[in-house]
Amino acid sequence: MISFKVQVYPKESEKVKGYAKIVLDDCFLVNDIKIISGRNGCFVSMPAKRKRDGKFKDIAHPITKELRQKIEEAIFLEYEKITGNKLPIRKKEEKEEI
């Protein structure tokens, strides 16, 4: 099982609630994870770059649903711990463009 550490940096804005970084197995760092407030609740957006057609493509992301869920839960929990605010989480079946 992969271990990871999470750090969250809250931001006071309407859409971006903060940024996070994770360290996987004490040897791989992923920066620039965004905590986004969308129409249907908050979600985690992995680091991405804009393609020529204007759409975004993830640079790094979990391959399995299980790891994605664990990372999201850890990020939201750390956000709540730091800010004292619980975010309304988007339901998993709802997909949203950034």
As a whole number, mean pLDDT of residues 40-54 equals: 94
- Residues 40/94, Cβ–Cβ less than 8 Å: yes
In the chain, what is the straight-line distance between the N-terminal and C-terminal CA atoms, in Å? 30
- Residues 36/42, Cβ–Cβ less than 8 Å: yes
pLDDT, position 64? 92
pLDDT in tens, 2-18: 888 999 999 988 899 99
- Residues 90/42, Cβ–Cβ less than 8 Å: yes
Please give the structure tokens belonging to residue 4.
């990871």
Instruction: Classify the C-alpha dihedral 94-60-19-3 as positive or negative.
Output: positive
pLDDT, position 47? 96
* Whether the predicted pLDDT of 66 surpasses 60: yes
Please give the structure tokens belonging to residue 59.
């640079």
